[in-house]
Structure 1
């Protein structure tokens, strides 16, 4: 189980790094080196919500299965 958790953790970090690169509307001025732009936080909040819902689902399934054991 520990191995599965580490795989999921690494996958989540990889997913978030890809979404950060894809959704950053940042431009760089080559003359001055200034960065400008904005970052759309919608995908980050969506990914965070999905992780929370998945964790809650696993917890509730574990609780439901433990009720049948006893």
Structure 2
């Protein structure tokens, strides 16, 4: 296990040391975050049955109530 961790570290650090590899890893990280957020949003919408527009309307109504409008 230790050897596997060391090999992974060496591969990642070699990519991070050159700019092109570092930029590629950043884009992969951003893509992973977007995919996770879309999955969470999809799950939340399928459970509640609301559309995105209805959820946004509910949020705006709650903000208006808090502000006193």
TM-score normalized by the length of structure 2: 0.47
Bigger share in helix: 2
Highest RCO, 1 vs 2 (Cα 8 Å, sep ≥ 6): 1
Bigger share in strand: 1
TM superposition score normalised by structure 1: 0.47
